[in-house]
Chain A
Amino acid sequence: MRRHRRISFGRILLGLVAGLVFAFLMLPLLVVFPISLSSASYLQFPPPGLSWQWYLRYLDDPSWIEATLRSVKVAALCTVLAMGLGVPLAFFLVRSRLPGIRLLDRLTAAPIIVPTIVLSIALYGVFARLQLIGEWYGIAVAHSVLALPFVVILVGAGLRTFDEAQEQAAAGLGARWPAILWRVTLPQLRPSLVSAAFLAFISSFDELVIAMFLSGAEMTLPKKMFDNIMMEIDPTIAAVSVLQILLVGLCLGLASLFGRGVLTTTMTR
């Protein structure tokens, strides 16, 4: 069926501007794909031919693999911490009737607002004293502070749309609170939980500034990339970048398939 639609000049112009902005946003992501497949031995665009050499170099270099695995470990622990602590915190912030709870709710967004550099050197000072510099779990704990607000925002939004009468109904039907949470509340929050977990993982996996100060010689992947960029621009980074983009794309795809709220609640409070 055809729909008649008035096509106005304004609509076309709007579409054109939007298209250009989308192109601008995607351009840096798209450009690394051809570079990563270049057969040249240095950075050259467009690539003279195609080869997998930069991917092989990445896979063959133990320091790259080590950094990658360390980042995965850090991000995994960060996700566990942020979810394990953030989900109960979201319950508290949404449900409690204590005075001042709204202020506390706003304060939990503080780690996003405080400039990362300030938090980084603040943690650097404390961690150095505790001799935690270079410990992967130290970075994970620091990252979980940054991931916590995302979890609270996403899960809190899910909780606010949840009808609390269902919990009362379950209690009246004979359920204890662990059963209520496990069988009634959490299953319905699953979309928000999935999204929150993915975002917590990515936010840690990509994070550089805190890792720069806290990782010492034991580099995370972003730190290793940063050092590499500072020293030489070689297409290995393009290969790593492509892998990272694909990972993010995968997480986003999974989150939007099984999750909810990634799109609009990420940044809107």
Chain B
Amino acid sequence: MELSVQGIVRRFGNVTALGGVDLDVAEGEFLTILGPSGSGKTTLLKTVAGFEIPDEGAVFLGGEDVTLAPPRKRDVGMVFQNYALFPHMTVARNVAFPLEMRGVRREEIRRRVEEALRLVELQGFGERLPRQLSGGQQQRVALARAVVFGPGLLLLDEPFGALDRKLREGLQLEVRRLQRRLRLTTLFITHDQEEALIMSDRIAVMDRGRIEQVGPPAEVYARPATRFVADFLGESNLLDGVLADGAVRIGGFTPVPLPGLPPGPVTLLLRPEALRLAEAAEAAPCRGRGRVIETVFLGLSVKLRVQMEDGPEMLARVPLRPSLPPPAQDGEWLAVGFAPEDVHVIPRG
């Protein structure tokens, strides 16, 4: 079922939690809302689920206006942050709950509960209580409960937040597979950019009650629409300057030619991996000199902080191969360069 959110405004007292949000999620799409805490993403999710009623705007599910409909009439499955499993019911009773509420016949309930538990690989756990399961297992029960009644929309509210890294990665892929298999329209909330990049068809980045940008992960990463998106998603060098006569001057570097763009104040985004160092920098169109302040070994790559001569501090990342010596030592002076086509320009207003 497709979801359409139009012009949602929600204020609490004089705090505006959502300041006019528009969002469309296509049938079967996995869309992630990414934002820092307090950005309004949870309020948005609650509005879609029906726990919050917006002051302005409307929510459409499958083309139907459900803005004022109570949660039980929305046909939405939700996985809560701490799962909200009913602790006094067994796993099977938890999963059966939405079916019982819909008056499904007993044998049918038993069959579908079993099927749902098999789907999340928990067959045989039906008679246990939630507290007898591990965190990852509880999470999968919550998922089974949210999809067992065949909802048109699945909402996931930071469902991996309480799990350790390794378990989280396994579950992320599992949830993604399940979502593809059931072709479930899914709205996923997280503040973890890596998670967002791995799982989503599209990402919507939120800040202070507004959606800053919506797009496929690769596009949002490579061409952020605002400075906030660039900064929040991945590591970045953000350089402010003024575009005049087809070029931008930044301290520490030769002018950056950017032909064909309207003049005005801009922010240049340079991802750390786009920087070239030492010999590799010699032939780069934009160059400068800098002193290495810090090197951090990251396994397959090295991250360096470089203080440019009369310029900003830059973050660079270079791939490592066992056969090659590390690119630089702390305190060493070296050439730093980049190509203008690796620069993404964000207008500043």
Contacts and interface: CB of A to CB of B under 8 A. Distances in A.
Interface of A: 163, 165-166, 168-176, 179, 183-184, 187-188
A187 B90 CA distance: 13
A165 B72 contact: no
A147 to B, nearest CB: 27
Contacts of B72: 171-176
Interface stretch (B95-103, B247-255, B316-324, B336-344): B95-103
A170 B78 CA distance: 10
Nearest to A171: B71
A65 to B, nearest CB: 41
A33 B82 CA distance: 53
Given A173-B101, A175-B97, A175-B101, A163 B82 contact: yes
A108 B96 CA distance: 40
Given A168-B84, A171-B50, 13 more contacts: A166-B84, A168-B49, A168-B71, A169-B80, A169-B84, A170-B86, A172-B77, A173-B72, A173-B101, A173-B145, A173-B149, A175-B97, A188-B88
Contacts of A169: 78, 80, 84, 86
Contacts of A165: 80-82, 84
Given A166-B86, A168-B80, A173 B51 contact: no
A169 B138 CA distance: 14
Interface in B260-281: none
Contacts of B70: 171
Contacts of A163: 82, 84
Contacts of B74: 172
Interface residues of B, number: 25
Interface in B69-121: 70-72, 74, 76-78, 80-82, 84-88, 97-98, 101-102
A170 B51 contact: no
Label chain A's interface by main secondary structure.
helix
A253 B9 CA distance: 54
Given A165-B82, A168-B71, A168-B80, A173 B88 contact: no
A25 B49 CA distance: 56
A172 B49 contact: yes
Nearest to A164: B84
Given A168-B71, A184-B86, A188-B88, A173 B80 contact: no
A174 B88 contact: no
Given A176-B72, A184-B86, A187-B88, A170 B80 contact: no
Contacts of B97: 170, 173, 175, 183
A149 to B, nearest CB: 27
12 contacts: A169-B78, A169-B80, A170-B86, A171-B50, A171-B51, A171-B70, A172-B71, A172-B72, A172-B76, A173-B101, A173-B146, A174-B149
A174 B96 CA distance: 12
Given A175-B72, A184-B86, A168 B51 contact: yes
Give the most central of A173, A187, A188: most B CB within 10 Å.
Answer: A173
Contacts of B86: 166, 169-170, 184, 188
Contacts of A188: 86-88
Contacts of B80: 165, 168-169
A183 B78 CA distance: 19
A169 B77 CA distance: 9
A227 B254 CA distance: 105
Contact of B101 (A168, A179, A187): A179
A175 B71 CA distance: 9
A63 B323 CA distance: 103
Contacts of A171: 50-51, 70-72
A219 B153 CA distance: 65
